Amino acid sequence: MRDDLYDEILRRNPGEPEFHQAVHEVLDTLGPVLRARPELVEARIVERICEPERQLMFRVPWQDDAGRVQVHRGFRVEFNSALGPYKGGLRFHPSVNLGIVKFLGFEQIFKNALTGLGIGGGKGGSDFDPRGRSDAEVMRFCQSFMTELYRHLGEHTDVPAGDIGVGGREIGYLFGQYRRVTNRWEAGALTGKAPGWGGSLARTEATGYGAVLFAAEMLRVRGEELDGQQVAVSGSGNVAIYAVEKAQALGAHVLTVSDSGGYVVDEKGVDVALLRQVKEVERGRLGDYAERRGSSARHVSGGSVWDVPADVALPCATQNELDGRAAAALVQAGVKAVAEGANMPCTPEAVTAFTEAGVAFGPGKAANAGGVATSALEMRQNAARTPWTHEKVEEALTGIMRDIHATCHETAERYGAPGDYVLGANAAGFERVADAMLAQGLI
């Protein structure tokens, strides 16, 4: 059945390799669930869950500072709302297309289900690139984008957040236009807002923090701690920066970060304050970090950050950044745990290499769920119009990540695959969504 279904998905969704990869990875692990629960096969839950409830694609015209008209394409895939309103980020990057958004939205279904917070799965974005654009240009683009998208959003319908290329600036402009065209102060319609006007403290840190917490839990059940481990991190954006910060807070020694120009190895441990200054404030390159850091840091142009030996690897950049060759190098160097901070950063070959070598592997739908979990906590604060302290949010995030780990670990054992977090995450998330779909009838 799985092969026939996958062939049908390939036929109906041509030219979308990332979506195909995400679906195949899930289908490859659901056999034990479907054998144990034939009612899900009869109701064709898998076929239904692989088909988005709604796919939106629209034109986004806007004018740059020189007065030239620019035209981009906007997307929102509302994939599954069985557990709650669609929830998932907006990505602004030239690589964005329908297949990318569908892959991200499909992953989001299971990730959101694992949080236990009553949110469905969706994703969106545009092929617009905010890099190098003025604030005025970004504002005009965001206003045009939201002028179309607003009619599909709402705190009880679809709640976007940020993703690659969409940070606090973009969320502010998007929310302003949403408020303007709806005439409603509906804070819960977007998350990732600034704390002064409805945002949640610790949201910026949440995805990176959560990936580290998940890695720490994987080590803990194996009788080890993160304290004292050598850690390699890829990326140098929001997720990577706060993964470095949290790992260091738990006693790890973080050696690397990377960007499109190469990677840095810092023998003294990455200086988070300097990294944040270079990447978030100055929007500079890692070569600048290495130059200012001094003799402890060296910048490597090109190559792979995964050539650096480490006990724990945290891929926090983008999809398919860690391939089979890189995984083999990490295994050879003795890596103990890998937790995906980005969405699907490990190729199927890499995942196979890690699992066959007995490396603890935390898939993104579990390991990087901290971001969307904290977005759901932001929605909770918006609904009550009551802000939480940073400590309260971080405490809740820590509890959620431990619960997600326990759920994945226990589900894998229940289906006869102890330690297989891929199966555990997919099966647990799938069952939660499938049970809701069964209960709500054929819709």
441 is in an annotated binding site: no
102 is in an annotated binding site: no
CATH architecture of 204-362: 3-Layer(aba) Sandwich (3.40)
Domain residue ranges in the chain = 2-186, 204-362
375 is in an annotated binding site: yes
Per-residue pLDDT of the chain (443 residues; tens, 9 = 90+): 467 899 999 999 999 999 999 999 999 999 999 999 999 999 999 999 999 999 999 999 999 999 999 999 999 999 999 999 999 999 999 999 999 999 999 999 999 999 999 999 999 999 999 999 999 999 999 999 999 999 999 999 999 999 989 999 999 999 999 999 999 999 999 999 999 999 999 999 999 999 999 999 999 999 999 999 999 999 999 999 999 999 999 999 999 999 989 999 999 999 999 999 999 899 899 999 999 999 999 999 988 999 999 999 999 998 899 999 999 999 999 999 999 999 889 999 999 999 999 999 999 999 999 999 999 999 999 999 999 999 999 999 999 999 999 999 999 999 999 999 999 999 999 999 999 999 999 99
188 is in an annotated binding site: no
169: how many CB neighbours lie within 10 A of its CB? 15
Q: Which of 123, 246, 279, 365 is catalytic?
A: 123
Q: Is 123 a catalytic residue?
A: yes
What is the C-alpha separation between 202 and 159, in angstroms, rounded? 19
Return phi, psi of residue 322, to 5°. -115, 105
What residues contact residue 27 under an 8 Å CB cut-off, 6+ apart? 2, 5, 6, 46
Q: Do 161 and 88 touch, CB atoms closer than 8 A?
A: yes
Fold match between 2-186 and 204-362?
yes
The tokens describing 257, both together, are 């970060």
What is the C-alpha separation between 223 and 232, in angstroms, rounded? 21
112 is in an annotated binding site: no
238 is in an annotated binding site: yes
- Residue 252, sorted as left (phi over 0), alpha (psi -120 to 50) or beta, turns out to be beta
- Among the four given CATH numbers 3.30.450.40, 3.40.50.720, 3.40.50.10860, 3.30.465.10, the one describing domain 2-186: 3.40.50.10860
